[in-house]
Copies of this chain bind each other. A is one copy, B any other.
Amino acid sequence: MTLRIGFLGYGMMARAHAHALNRLPLFFPETPETERTIVAGRDPDGVADAAERLGFRRWTTHWRDVVQAVDVLYVLTPPTAHREPTVAALESGVHVLCEKPLAVSVRDADRMAEAAADSDAVAGCGFNYRFLPAVQLLERLVQEGELGTIRHVRGQFLQNWQAEPSDPWTWRNDADVAGAGRVADAGSHSIDLARWLAGPIESVSGQLTTTVDERPVAGTDERRTVTTDDAYSALVRFSSGARGVFDGSRVATGHTNTNTIEVVGSKGTARFHCERLNELEVMREGDRGFQSISVTDPDDPYVDRWWPPGHGLGWEHSVVHENYEFLGSIRDDEPFDPGFETGLAVARVVDAIRRSDETGRRISIR
């Protein structure tokens, strides 16, 4: 079986997925073989160049060309362009890996989840952080009851790439294209990890801020209005009774990539920090302090495929492992987790945070 792969989009995540496909044969040889068949993008020159760089045989400017030509579709465009091709692909039996956030709105996400439910194809949502060894170990600890009953979850995703008012406008500042801002972009990662570790979220209170109202458009004299939030925070109640606090920003001076998740349970606590992604800090019964664990032992998730203890992995490995699992699901004809139901559930939480910000009320999530 050689799976024909098509990409929509050729930005940074396209590079990350192409790279992942490059690496699977040596490190995960049991992965199905793939062929990079066709890539689509709006700009003919850009996409032609990307096809060459990323190893695609052909390129197009029409997404339908891709859907028709492949077994697996990677949807790597801004959220506003996710729904249509994804639904078309799933209806044609084409497998889909769609980047997060799943859609620009709950309505779109709902439609996509419905299409996934009705299709025999595998549908995955790109919450890649799950696939880091340290995050996998964290989930394993929770599953095995090492932390006891979960009491609190804390998720931060602080960055500084728009900390300066002079940092240029991007499509992520446009509500029509991105849906929401930081709450969607980074918040969706935090919410996915929290739900994965602590179960469904029942209600939220949230607040959003737009710290910088307009930004220059790179290479022009234009200044464009920012219509999304650039920072958010939220209080969360899980169905289990646990509580959570979330916090995200693009304007957090000093924070290059503070993507952290902490799970406090009745028996122990564990926390992950993405800037030290080979480590997990864990405190269990009998411990007197947090153990700083180097998650690089052969017994740790995925690690036996790579290097000896202490020879850490990088961010990109999350995407390699995600591709390994996703393509394995296709081979085995099994659902992939996180799927579109997860993408939809996260979209509902994101939407509830926005509505809470507008109304000043705690919002229940159905």
Contacts and interface: CB of A to CB of B under 8 A. Distances in A.
Contacts of A154: 247
Contacts of A267: 253
Contacts of A278: 275, 314
A161 B276 contact: no
A316 B234 CA distance: 35
Interface stretch (A37-45, A217-225, A303-311, A321-329): A303-311
Contacts of A203: 360
Contact of A360 (B23, B254, B314, B362): B362
A287 interface: yes
A249 B264 contact: yes
A268 to B, nearest CB: 6
Contacts of A159: 309-310
Number of copies of chain A assembled together: 4
Contact of A243 (B207, B245, B268, B313): B207
Which of A27, A282, A316 has the most chain B CB within a 10 Å cutoff?
A316
A307 B296 contact: no
Interface residues of A, number: 85
A99 B99 CA distance: 41
A271 B249 CA distance: 16
Which of A267, A274, A294 has the most chain B CB within a 10 Å cutoff?
A294
Interface in A86-108: none
B26 A19 contact: yes
A317 B307 CA distance: 12
A1 interface: no
Contacts of A316: 306-307, 311, 313-314
Given A247-B245, A253-B283, A291-B288, A231 B152 contact: yes
Interface in A153-199: 154, 159, 161, 163
Interface string A1-43: 0000000000010011011001100110100000000000000
B254 A294 contact: no
Contact of A237 (B207, B231, B237, B249): B207
Interface in A247-303: 247, 249, 251-257, 259, 264-269, 274-279, 282-283, 287-294, 296-297
Nearest to A297: B288
Interface string A51-82: 00111000000000000000000000000000
A119 interface: no
Interface in A201-257: 203, 205-207, 209, 211, 231, 233-235, 237, 241, 243, 245, 247, 249, 251-257
Q: 6 closest Cβ contacts across the A-B interface?
A: A257-B310, A254-B283, A360-B362, A254-B269, A314-B314, A256-B310
Interface of A: 12, 15-16, 18-19, 22-23, 26-27, 29, 53-55, 147-148, 151-152, 154, 159, 161, 163, 203, 205-207, 209, 211, 231, 233-235, 237, 241, 243, 245, 247, 249, 251-257, 259, 264-269, 274-279, 282-283, 287-294, 296-297, 306-317, 356, 360-362
11 contacts: A19-B23, A151-B211, A203-B360, A249-B264, A256-B294, A256-B296, A257-B294, A257-B296, A257-B309, A282-B288, A312-B314
Given A16-B307, A252-B269, A288-B291, 4 more contacts: A203-B360, A231-B243, A245-B245, A253-B267
